[in-house]
Structure 1
């Protein structure tokens, strides 16, 4: 080897170390491997947000393929396959938005982890949809438009397809901006808009629409007032007592009995009516018996659980944690039994019209349609639900197990009262209204019971505006966003549905 080359190779480098051809090769290899690792990390980081949409898209495709198994892939049945695809998309959005309202308070109160809440909701929503749902529903979403006005099969199918797509798109948009909206109201708006585009103003049942519009106000107010009333009861009878544990032993079983009675009555209305004729009076009687039974059984259980507890508020949270989890599961079951059937109603209408060639006032929802709805909400909750769960549970106002229990209890009781009064209410509005009610009650209560530092010479010192804003316990930005989304849900879904119907009608002429 030439001397000069040998000298270059043997010349000492930094630190007195010498490099050889082998060491240079390993350094180059290490650099290349490092670059590859950085590229892999970057690719994984960029691809992570695409995983959930990819799984959702796979579910939608599977739903379409499943519908094709029930119907031949003939031109006349392709519309049913397309409707199944849109129905699966709708179900995903229900899981992402609507279901989160039931689980949010329990997660925000730290009674359930995010994973536990998703598992409970998926199981009980699916069970509610498949066991107690699927009853006979109005295909025009509870009589919003007259079936005779869209008696032509093709117009009717396009109207229902437009309503389904518009409702799903609106719920998807609301989820993106973090606003919990009503699935039922979205479907109502979609059906109304398609009906207007297909048959004009005379086809709409405006008294029904007026009742639905009234529910925008009635639902959250009823839920909020009842939740605030129960929180006031808990504060006055348990939290602010000298012996909190003794007060809890007396009142917690009563509250658990009220919860059991309310849910028993509601589930009797939804489930047992498939077996026997069920009136509101009989349902209330069943609820009364169930409530008294659970109250008696809860007394020794609460007494045993409270043994050795310290006399402070933190101990009380443990007594409410299990009842809160049970009430959350029952809320999910009730939601699956009620709202999923309403959401897949337009899909069932398309299937019925394709099979029998005519629109109908009422149809039976096929089991495979309910399966799409039930599985779709589970996937939607798992893939996209955590965002709304966090918002409802912790970003509107701070919740603990007692406050979250009041929200769940108010939701069950409000639905029972609404059924008794014949009012069309939204479970979403009730649950979120309960969260608002709890937060606003705490603001009012804290304002009435000022801190000692706020009182000077026997008179209450007026707080500066900055301090009053700091002490607000409900985030006003979320409050205004949610209220605005509620107000525009029906008109927005209606406008989108009308446009979609006109496009479909024009394309198919």
Structure 2
């Protein structure tokens, strides 16, 4: 019974992965009208993600399944806790409107279990966290350089801006870039849902990847429309060539990371790429403090939130420890209270300032 529950939760998680990060891969082509049909855009995403997972998802599955904590810890109950911890954190984040990375949330949930059992492969974990920082920075630098080149080229040759007969070919290039990004998402992110099952020997790696890829594709087709609309509207200010630079850079970097078994946050890689292009296009003003804060918040909140949830679930249901639960509840209460208090103080200061402004 528990095995079926674990499988259902994993496949539901895979559908949500397809609906969120994977569907966003086609945002640039859809937003720039390189591909006008939403259904066609989602179909291309689904096929690309499926192929990415089936052809190259094995190494990341191995890392998620046995590279962060010893696989002998992974019982059916622990797998359910890892998946529920990650999925529940994503659900809460969606309610609050905070975008989280599925890769970071899954790794955080696994680390929470490792901390509870005091058994972690810290070396591998340090490498993963390091690349969470390194790859977005590399994405920014590459797209910045490409952005400078594209800006000069578009000034010199106006047809590169997507006007006239070249619009069709530049549109096709952008769609290919979106497919590459979706391929890389399938390669990297399907492991988040399937890896714990494979690590616990509940399903073989090949069957797990096939099922995960299938449900990720279903999620993209059935639930990805809203994400596609939102993401497309956010990046319509990019030209066809600039959008291609972002997609090809992000997709290539995530594919390289996947080959080495590193779970990487595609959303942050893509966001950093957009920032790189934007900085080359509009200058340092693109690097607004609010955008940087948002990236840092996602980077910090994603793994820490799921770590706390999975650690709490372990102490509630597996290693029942009232003291640890009390400490966690008190810490969360203190953190939330501090945030709320700081908001009240800011509002009071703002009200005082507004009241005095007319004197």
The TM-score with structure 2 as length reference comes to 0.77
* The structure with more radius of gyration: 1
CA–CA distance in structure 2, aligned partners of residues 136 and 477 of structure 1: 32
How far did 1:90 drift?
0.8
Q: Distance in 2 between matches of 1:479 and 1:318?
A: 35
Contact 1:226-1:410 within 8 A present in 2 as well: yes
Cα distance in structure 1, aligned partners of 2:7 and 2:258:
31
CA gap of 1:178–1:229, structure 2 versus 1, over 3 A, is farther
Q: Which moved more, 1:371-380 or 1:182-191?
A: 371-380
Compared with structure 1, are the counterparts of its residues 177 and 107 closer, same or farther at alpha carbon in structure 2 (3 Å cutoff)?
farther
Say yes or no: does 1:403 pair with 2:242: yes
Partner of 1:130: 54
Structure 1: distance between partners of 2:75 and 2:25 = 34
Shift of 1:180: 4.3
- CA distance in 1 between counterparts of 2:209 and 2:264 reads 22
Is the counterpart of residue 488 in structure 1 residue 338 in structure 2? Answer: no
The number of equivalent residue pairs is: 318
Distance 1:436 1:390, change over 3 A: farther
Task: Check the 8 A contact 1:126/1:333 in 2, yes or no.
Answer: yes
Q: 1:268 aligns to what?
A: none
Query: Any gaps of 5 or more consecutive residues in structure 2?
Result: 321-359
Correspondence for 1:99 among 22, 26, 33 = 22
Alpha-carbon deviations, 1:372-420, whole Å to 9, x = none?
Answer: 3223222322343233334433326722312210101211443466579
Give the alignment of 1:56-67 within 5 angstroms.
none
Q: 1:100 to 1:174 in 2, by over 3 A?
A: farther
1:164 aligns with 2:83: yes
Task: Give the alignment's TM-score, normalised by structure 1.
Answer: 0.56
Confirm or deny that 1:239 pairs with 2:149. Answer: no
Gap runs ≥5 in structure 1: 1-77, 249-311, 355-362, 448-471
Matched, 1:185 2:104: yes
The counterpart of 1:365, out of the listed 205, 222, 238, is 205
Give, in angstroms, the shift of residue 91 of structure 1. 0.7
Match of 2:70 in 1: 146
CA distance in 1: counterparts of 2:60 and 2:112, whole angstroms: 23
* More divergent stretch after superposition (390-399 vs 336-345): 390-399
- Aligned-pair CA distance for 1:473: 5.2
Deviation at residue 427 of structure 1 after TM alignment = 2.7
Rounded to whole Å, the distance in 2 between the matches of 1:324 and 1:489 is 30
Helix, strand or coil for the counterpart of 1:99? helix
1:82 is displaced (CA, Å) by 0.8
Contact 1:174 1:181 survives alignment (8 Å): yes
| Higher RCO structure (Cα 8 Å, ≥6 apart) | 2
SS in 1 for 2:25: helix
Cα-to-partner distance string for 1:300-319 (whole Å, 9 max, x where unaligned): xxxxxxxxxxxx75335443
Q: Say whether the 8 Å CA contact 2:146–2:277 is kept in structure 1.
A: no
Deviation per residue, 1:426-457 (Å, 9 max, x gap):
3332222212222233221xx7xxxxxxxxxx
Identify which range, 223-232 or 312-321, moves more after superposition: 312-321
1:78-99 C-alpha deviation (Å, 9 max, x unpaired): 1210111111121122012221
Alpha carbons of structure 1 residues 392 and 214: separation in structure 2 relative to 1, 3 Å: farther
Give the aligned partner of residue 226 of structure 2: 387
